Structure formats: C-alpha cells, structure tokens
Amino acid sequence: MGIPERRYSRITQKHPREICLLRSFPCVWGKCSFCDYIEDNGRDEAAMVSLNRQVLRQVTGDYGRLEVINSGSCFELPGQTFEDIIKVIEEKQIQEVFFESHWIYRKQTAGLRRRLKVPAVLKIGVETFDYDFRQKVLNKNADFTDPKQVAEYFDSPCIMVGIKGQTKEMIEYDISCLKKYFRMGTINVYNDNTTSIRRDPELVRWFMKEYSWLFSDPAVEVLYEVTDFGVG
C-alpha cells in the first residue's frame, strides 16, 4: 500500500465527525501478518509535523468531533503534532476526539485521556477475540485473553471479518463481545492486499447476509472497503 492521496474527510453517517490521516514514526510492532500499510510513516520529524499541520488546518469543528488516524498508534505521532492536535481541539471547540492505539500502549491510555481534556474514544485493532487466530495467524502481539481486559483501556474495538481460516463461530463470538463489552466498534470486511493473508469470499457473503442489521446499528461502523472513511 503506497502513500495515501487523501488525508482529510468527513464521516456523515454514524457519529458524524471530521477525520485526519496524519504521518507518524513507524509502528512499534509492524509485524502483523495481514498489514501492508507500512509506508506512510517516516523519521523526518520536521517534515511530518509540517504535513500534519497542513492536514489539521482543514478541520472546521462543524461536527464537534474529530478522529485522528495514522499508520500505527496515536502514540507514534510526533510530539509537536500532538500539541497541534490539542490546539485544534481548543480552537475548533471539539467536544469528542477519536484515536487508535495498539495493545502495547494500553498503560498510556489513561494519561492520554487526561491530556486531551475532552472525552476520547480510544480504538484498538483487536481483529478478533479468538486468541489463537489473533496471535498465531494474524501475529498481532496482543496477548489479552478476555475482552474485559481490553474494555479496561479501550472504548471501541476494530474487528476483521472474512479471512481465510476464520470461522462463522469466531465471527459470532467477536460480534457478541463487541456488543456486550463496548459502547461502539468498527467491523472491517477484509480485502486482499500484498500479504499472504487471503479473503474468504464465502464467509464474507455469509457475514453480509447474517449481519446486515449491523449497517443500521448506530453503535457499529461497517467498512466494506478500506477507504470507506474517505481517507487513504
């Protein structure tokens, strides 16, 4: 996956908000077997700060919500970019902010919430609550064994469905955990990329039929394409 063309967009359906795709330092883990989104980061901090400021200048505050994403965890954004985000939150009167982080940074989430001074929705790429599939197949390096452990630190898990080797029972369990322990979540229908992890078309068809009701669930965002949020 190359460098994204679009870095600012608006989500107008569920939880209307502005969304900014920023550049950061490389992902601290960077070994997930399904992920080829590894080029949109860097080491030139000044260049990243400059680009991120250009993106953040587009924020209007029209919805009172802002989501910031990058090719790793929010904790890998340059320090100055974080200061710029906080400034945007204050100047544009943002009432709620969305960030995403890897499980590795869970102990830093409380400090992040305090620093932001506005309610935060912290997302995490769980991919699946099935321990073996998450750790051995997806190589996620997220060693929790119970969804309640995740809910201690994060508000919104991101789940992937439609992967070869995944089962209907896994997906049913994942969605039940999402609905039981979290106030919101995102479900990504897997799309083939440059990795060896493949999409299971039959499983996707089953999911789209069996869980069509999720598209109208106000707490769950279903992404059928990787660019459904309008950035990338």
- 200 pLDDT band (50/70/90 cuts)? very high
Of 1-15, 46-60, 201-215, the range with the lowest mean pLDDT is: 1-15
Indicate the helix (H) or strand (E) that contains 110.
Answer: helix 109-116
pLDDT score for 228: 56
Q: Provide the residue type at 217 as one letter.
A: D
In a domain, 91, yes or no: yes
- 221 pLDDT band (50/70/90 cuts)? very high
In a domain, 232, yes or no: no
* CATH value at residue 155: 3.20.20.70
In a domain, 229, yes or no: no
In a domain, 228, yes or no: no
Hey, what are 12's tokens?
Answer: 């107008």
pLDDT score for 39: 78
Range of the domain at 149: 8-223
In a domain, 3, yes or no: no
In a domain, 1, yes or no: no
- 97 pLDDT band (50/70/90 cuts)? very high
pLDDT score for 225: 80
In a domain, 82, yes or no: yes
**pTM for this prediction:** 0.93
**Which residues on neighbouring strands pair with residue 199, listed in sequence order?**
163
Hey, what are 108's tokens?
Answer: 């830093």
In a domain, 2, yes or no: no
- 226 pLDDT band (50/70/90 cuts)? low
Residues 6+ apart with CB under 8 A from 165: 133, 137, 200
* Average pLDDT taken over every residue of the chain: 94
Asked whether 158 and 129 are in contact (CB, 8 A), the reply is no
pLDDT score for 38: 74
Work out how many domains the chain is built from and give that number: 1
Of 40-44, 121-125, 168-172, the range with the lowest mean pLDDT is: 40-44
Label the pairing between strands 156-161 and 120-127.
parallel
Question: Is 90 exceeded by the pLDDT of residue 179?
Answer: yes
Label the pairing between strands 220-223 and 156-161.
unpaired
pLDDT score for 61: 98
